[in-house]
Amino acid sequence: MAKSQATFMKKQLEKNRQKKKEDKAMRKQERKENPTGSDLDSMIAYVNEFGEITSTPPEKVNQ
């Protein structure tokens, strides 16, 4: 007698879940190894005297 289709589907779903879990763990490890510029300096933006957003701090003018 042949195995039921339900048993086959359960095995396939479990394989898919396991693969997703492994892929997620791999992506997490890659993010740990290759951090992107998430430090505070890369997130700061400045506004110059013309109202434009820049990444460089304004020069201090001594008066």
Domain assignment present for 61: no
- The domain of 32 spans 5-54
60 within some domain? no
Confidence of residue 16 (pLDDT cuts 50, 70, 90): very high
Per residue in 28-59, pLDDT (tens digit) is: 999 899 877 667 777 888 988 888 998 888 77
Give the integer Cα–Cα distance in Å for 29 and 35: 10
In a domain, 59, yes or no: no
pTM beyond 0.75, yes or no:
no
Distance CA 26, CA 15 (A): 16
Decide: 9 and 17 in contact? Cβ < 8 Å. Answer: no
The domain total for the chain is 1
Residue 28 maps to a domain: yes
